[in-house]
Structures are given as C-alpha cells and as structure tokens.
Chain A
Amino acid sequence: MSMTIPALRPSSLPRVDAQGLGALYDTHGRQLFRLAYRLLGTREDAEDVLHDVFVGLPEALAHYEERGRFDAWLRRVTVRVALMHQRTRKRRREARLDGAAAVPTSPGLTAEQIELQAAVNALPAELRSVLVLKEMEGYSHAEIATLLGISPVTARVRLFRAMRSLRQRLEDHQ
C-alpha cells in the first residue's frame, strides 16, 4: 500500500493505527532510513532510529502543528532522534574505548564510494552531522543551526573543518 502526504493538514492525516503507521512507513521509511544512516554511519543505528521515530510517531502526531511540509517535519524529527542516539552512542563508546569508525557494508558500492563513506564515518560526530545535513541532505546553515542548537557561523566553520578533514583523509589514501 502506498500513500503520499504532501503538506497535509493535521486534520487530514490518516488515523495512526497499526495500518496507518504501516502506510507512513511505506511512504517515508526508506528516505528517513537513508537520512539516519548518513548521520550515524551504520545500518543498526539507523534502524534503531527509524524504529524509535515510528514507534513514537502516533503520540507525536497528536501534538503536530503543521507549519510546512509533513515530510520535512518528519525529517526534522528523525534528525533530532538520530542526534540524540548519536550522543547516547558516543557515551557508550567512550566507556568502551571503542572509537573505531564503522566500515560501510552496503552492497554495490564502488571502491571509491567505500573509501568516501569510511572517511565520512571517521569524522567526529559534530562535524559529520553538519556535513551530512548540508551537503547530502540539502539543509541550510540556518536550519542546521536550529537543529543542532548552534549558531549559523559555527555550522559554517564545522562544515569547513569537515570538508578539509575529508579531503585530507582521501588524499592520504591515494
């Protein structure tokens, strides 16, 4: 079953019962999973985020006030949940002293793409978040600033650092 919800008003949203939730998942699941995967770098973490987003969605929709596109709102929610997940994961990894970057495992990747994905995954979380949101997801610096609770200038600086680090790492591996 496929369902498209372009800029629906809250009153026109489907009832979020089990069936409605499944419909929302079918419509937006892939896109949101890709977003979470890019932010977190592993399939497991991305699936955890997507699980939490859709499990929490019925209650969140009760308080949803439409200000723009529904899918944009859903993406913002996913980013926030992913960032929260990232912080929790960071604490866990620090405790385990396990800071190794995740190695991409997606089938069909070229050697160059594997290297690029590994380089992105190796970035510190605060840099990777800005890089993914700006360069891969198309958010503006102002939107990123709001999402991350930083200033737009800080977002620019982090993006600059991320790109510089990425280039250095890729050059080192050439």
Chain B
Amino acid sequence: MTSDLRMKLKELPAPEPSAELRDRIRASRVAGERVVFPADAKRSRVTIPRAAAAVIAFLALTSALYAWLAGRDRDVPSAASFFAGSLLWPTPALSQEVGADTVGRARYPLLDRVPARALPTGSWSYRATLTTDGLVTTEQGQRRFSIAQTTMHGVPAVAIVTNGTGRYAPEGFADSLVVSRDSLRLLRRSKRYGKYPGGGDFPATPPRYLSWRDADINWVGSVYRALFQLTPLTSSWRGSVYVPWIRYRDRVSALAIDLRVTGSERLTLPAGSYDTWVVSVRFRDREARVYVDKASGLVVKIAMPMGDDAVWEQVLTNAS
C-alpha cells in the first residue's frame, strides 16, 4: 500500500499558473519591487558549526574548570552520591509521610511489607531499547537480574542483583540487595554506577524488612522486580507508595507512585510466551506499564512513553 500511495503522490497533477502571472511579475519589476530571498543553506551551514563550536568550547572550559575545582577537594560529593546512600532514605519517605517536599499525593492505600516467602533463584536477561515514532530504534543496553542464595554474617540470605550496561553508563552498573532468607530482613544494599560505589549494611535494630517503601525509582529497578515476585497480584490489585526521589545532588524528595493492575495480556517475547498482568505505574505526569508473569511473578517487560513520540522498553530475552 505504501508504494502504491507513493506512486499516486508522484502522479498527483498540479494546476497551471494563471496566464497573467507572467505580466504581474514583469509589472512588479518595472514598478521597482524587489524581493530578498531567505538566507541560503550554504551560509547557515557555516554559521551553525561556528555556533556549535562556541558552545562546545564554552562547555569544555566549564567542564575543565569544574573538574579542577572538584579535584582540589576530594570530599566534594561526586556523581556517586546520586546512587549511593540508599540506606539513608529521608524520613518522610520511610515513614510515608506527606511533607513539604513531597511530590504528588497517593491515590490508593499505601503499600508496605511484602509477604515473607521464598524467592525463586535464577538469572534473567533483558534488552532495553528506545523507539521513536515506531521508526528509529536505539539500543539502551542490557540488564541481568539474578536471585541467588548466599549467607551474610552466618545468616542464610538471598542476594538480589541487577547489573548491566546502559547508554549513559558505558562502564556498567550494579545494584545488589541482600535480605535474610526467612523473614526478608534487609541486610545490605550496595550500588555501583560506573566507577562510583556506594551502600552499606543495615543495622540489626531496629530491623527493616523488604517493603515497597524501598522501591526507589532508580535506573535499575532490581528491588521492583523482587517486590513484584513477592506480591500476589489480582485483577483488582492496587496500591500507592512514597519513594525517595533524588532530584539534585543534595536534595531528595518523596514521590508518590500509584500502581494498579489494569488488565492482562499474553506476550510473546524473545524468552518465550507469558500470560501477564499489566500494571500501570504512575508517577507525576508519567505512566509506565509493567508486565508481570502471572505464573512466576517475574517482570517480563517494562514500557514507558518518553514524551509524545518515543517509547522506552525493556523485554526479557533469556531466562535460566
């Protein structure tokens, strides 16, 4: 149909100019009328690189100055601070309080701990892409989500790990959460974004347990995956949670996230076919869709619109 349409477009006739146009042009010239054409492309081709070069030079100078200033004092918080310190979530988020720096309001009953039950061990790979207008697809890196049994300080535990690469993290990243096997008590959280590590051990008292409150909206989402595996979903399931949202280097807000099962869908992905719950995840004015396998609770796909014409997706490519 497309080639047919193209042919029809090419063959679309146009009318003839009116007979008096020639005389009108002549009359205008004789009357002294002049028209200056828009600047031609050659000129703009020269101008744009010059402007771009000026911007690049400015950015390079600024960047060099920043690096020099940062290098003078190693205590200046680095980019690692964006992703480290997840043990120290702000009190409002942990206590689910609505404060002055809370963005949005919860629509549904607040979610909390998840049932303490065995997490299935395994390893799952995902491929991330960004598609613009269904036309231009760019790779956004790979993710590997793993759950493995381990011990920590003699306590039988489960390690929930996500690592991979991304377009903006060519050096790779990793996010690990260690919880006790019997009660899902939080033991350790560690993160690495490129060469920046962060994290630490949770204190034994007061104990904290794996809950939706820990589902920070970071770029990895490993906690989310575990939480979905532990949360029994139904067609009417819904809930909200305030999670920490790192907005700037030294500013963390509490952000309301509303989750709701909106339907079910059978998906065929590179890793296989799955009957899934479709979960709407709304925060601020955005909405992502998370597809959760009904049988295993495994997140098999995430789709999130980026603006009006692009969709970021992550799909399961392999399960082992």
Query: In the complex, what residues of A have CB within 8 A of residue B30's CB?
Result: 18
B44 touches which of A120, A149, A157 (Cβ 8 Å): A149
Query: Can you give 16 A-B contacts (C-beta < 8 A)?
Result: A21-B26, A21-B29, A25-B25, A33-B16, A47-B18, A60-B37, A80-B38, A81-B37, A84-B38, A113-B12, A120-B12, A135-B6, A136-B12, A146-B41, A160-B135, A163-B5
Q: Bound state CA distance, A166 and B15, in angstroms?
A: 21
User: Is there a chain B Cβ closer than 8 Å to A76's Cβ?
Assistant: yes
- Listed residue (B9, B29, B309) with the most chain A CB atoms within 10 angstroms of its CB: B9
CB within 8 Å: A-B pair count:
117
Query: In the complex, what residues of B have CB within 8 A of residue A107's CB?
Result: 15
Query: In the complex, what residues of A have CB within 8 A of residue B236's CB?
Result: none
Q: Which residue from chain A places its CB closest to the CB of B135 in the assembled complex? A: A160
Minimum C-beta distance from A123 to chain B (A): 12
User: Is there a chain B Cβ closer than 8 Å to A105's Cβ?
Assistant: yes
Do residues B16 and A18 form an inter-chain contact, with CB atoms below 8 A?
Answer: no
User: Is there a chain A Cβ closer than 8 Å to B45's Cβ?
Assistant: yes
Interface size on B (CB < 8 Å)? 38
Query: In the complex, what residues of A have CB within 8 A of residue B44's CB?
Result: 149
Query: In the complex, what residues of A have CB within 8 A of residue B12's CB?
Result: 38, 113, 116-117, 120, 136
Q: Bound state CA distance, A11 and B9, in angstroms?
A: 38
B136 touches which of A21, A34, A146, A153 (Cβ 8 Å): A153
Do residues B38 and A81 form an inter-chain contact, with CB atoms below 8 A?
Answer: yes
Query: In the complex, what residues of A have CB within 8 A of residue B6's CB?
Result: 135
A101-150 residues with Cβ-Cβ distance < 8 A to B are 105-109, 112-113, 116-117, 120, 131, 135-136, 146-147, 149
User: Is there a chain B Cβ closer than 8 Å to A54's Cβ?
Assistant: yes
Q: 1/0 per position for A41-68, CB-CB distance to B under 8 A?
A: 0010011001111111011100000000
Do residues A51 and B37 form an inter-chain contact, with CB atoms below 8 A?
Answer: no
Minimum C-beta distance from B147 to chain A (A): 40
| New A-B pairs, 18, CB < 8 Å, besides A25-B25, A47-B18 | A21-B26, A22-B22, A29-B17, A33-B16, A33-B21, A37-B14, A37-B15, A38-B12, A53-B37, A56-B36, A60-B37, A76-B41, A81-B37, A113-B12, A113-B13, A116-B12, A136-B10, A167-B1
Q: Using A55-B35, A135-B6, A163-B5 as known contacts, say yes or no to A34 and B28 having CB atoms under 8 A apart.
A: no
Query: In the complex, what residues of B have CB within 8 A of residue A147's CB?
Result: 41
Do residues A146 and B29 form an inter-chain contact, with CB atoms below 8 A?
Answer: no
Query: In the complex, what residues of A have CB within 8 A of residue B8's CB?
Result: 112-113, 116
Do residues A55 and B9 form an inter-chain contact, with CB atoms below 8 A?
Answer: no
Query: In the complex, what residues of A have CB within 8 A of residue B38's CB?
Result: 80-81, 83-84
Q: Which residue from chain A places its CB closest to the CB of B21 in the assembled complex? A: A47
